[in-house]
Amino acid sequence: MKSNRNPNSELQQSVVSVPDLAQVPEDLLNQAREFQEAIMMYSCAIREVKTKLEVLNDDLSVRNQRNPIEVIKSRVKRPVSIVEKLRRRQLPVNLDSLINHLDDVAGIRVICSFVDDIYAVADMLVNQDDIRVLKVKDYIKNPKPNGYRSYHLIVEIPVFFSDRKKNMRVEVQIRTIAMDFWASLDHLLKYKKEMGEEATAISEELRKCAEVIAGTDERMLEIRRSIERHGGTIKD
Ligand code: 0O2
């Protein structure tokens, strides 16, 4: 059957109207520009730290015949997560607050195969003379009660822009492949608020898995060390 509806008028209704920039208040535009500039600066800081980690990985892979780092992931925190975190901490939601109170707007996650690589990479990074360490949280030696394991560093690094140098903060999370696998599932659970009572049982199950994973990480390291003692190398 043929419809009498005019497809163009439907299309017009569904299009979101774009605001006329001339009508947007000047201070709102300035705030948007400042926010965009801050995000650009954080993503440049990520590039600086990421390059350092890539250089370390390349150097170590030539020296030791194996890559200590499997993957490097990075992100600038999404505006919605920035707002949520500021609200959760009962801080004003504005740019100053973000710059002064949030350490993880720029975030890098380094995934290593073995636990000793985590400490080796962290040491080599923090010993570079343009890196200042602001905070260290070793959730591997001191896991969270839910089983979360990871090594966290908040570092400050100078970034040279066109007309200024800024010291930028970057959060670096370093963990094994297994710890990262665990954290992804745990993160998923955090956002499934509607699970109710079942969430308690799942959290307990996850906590047990974290123990198994920690044991497996330890055993894998022992196996690698035994192979190395016999002169073997683990190549990709
Ligand atoms: P998202 O969405 O991943 O960015 P602090 O002021 O330093 O004491 P903060 O920032 O909570 O408080 O520090 P912490 O505990 O070092 O956590 C920083 C980040 O580590 C979190 O960022 C998570 O990415 C990760 N993390 C910490 N605890 C857990 C956990 O139990 N499970 C999982 N999956 N990740 C965790 P955000 O902003 O909380 O979250």
Task: Give the C-alpha distances (Å, rounded to integers) separating 68 from 101, 113, 189, 227.
Answer: 32, 7, 30, 16
Task: Name the residue at shortest CA distance from atom 17 of ligand 1.
Answer: 152
Q: Is 34 a catalytic residue?
A: no
* Rounded-to-integer distance, Cα 46 and Cα 38, Å: 13
* Per-residue pLDDT, 108: 98
* Global confidence as pTM: 0.87
Task: Name the residue at shortest CA distance from atom 4 of ligand 1.
Answer: 77
What is the distance in A from the centroid of ligand 1 to the CA of 182?
14
Query: Does ligand 1 lie within 6 Å of residue 185's CB atom?
Result: no
Task: Give the C-alpha distances (Å, rounded to integers) separating 23 from 13, 15, 26, 29, 233.
Answer: 22, 19, 9, 10, 65
Query: Does ligand 1 lie within 6 Å of residue 186's CB atom?
Result: yes
* Overall size of the chain counted in residues: 236
Inter-residue long-range contacts of 178-187, CB under 8 Å, 24+ positions, other chains counted: 178/213, 178/216, 178/217, 179/140, 179/149, 179/150, 179/213, 179/217, 180/109, 180/111, 181/213, 182/147, 182/148, 182/149, 182/206, 182/209, 182/210, 182/213, 183/148, 183/150, 186/146, 186/147, 186/148
From 171, 198, 205, 218, the catalytic residue: 171
The one-digit pLDDT tens for each residue of the chain (236 residues) are 444 455 555 545 556 666 676 777 788 888 889 999 999 999 999 999 999 999 999 999 998 888 999 999 999 999 999 999 999 999 999 999 999 999 999 999 999 999 999 999 999 999 999 999 999 999 999 999 999 999 999 999 999 999 999 999 999 999 999 999 999 999 998 877 677 778 888 999 999 999 999 999 999 999 999 999 887 666 55
Query: Does ligand 1 lie within 6 Å of residue 81's CB atom?
Result: yes
Quote the tokens at residue 34.
């400042």
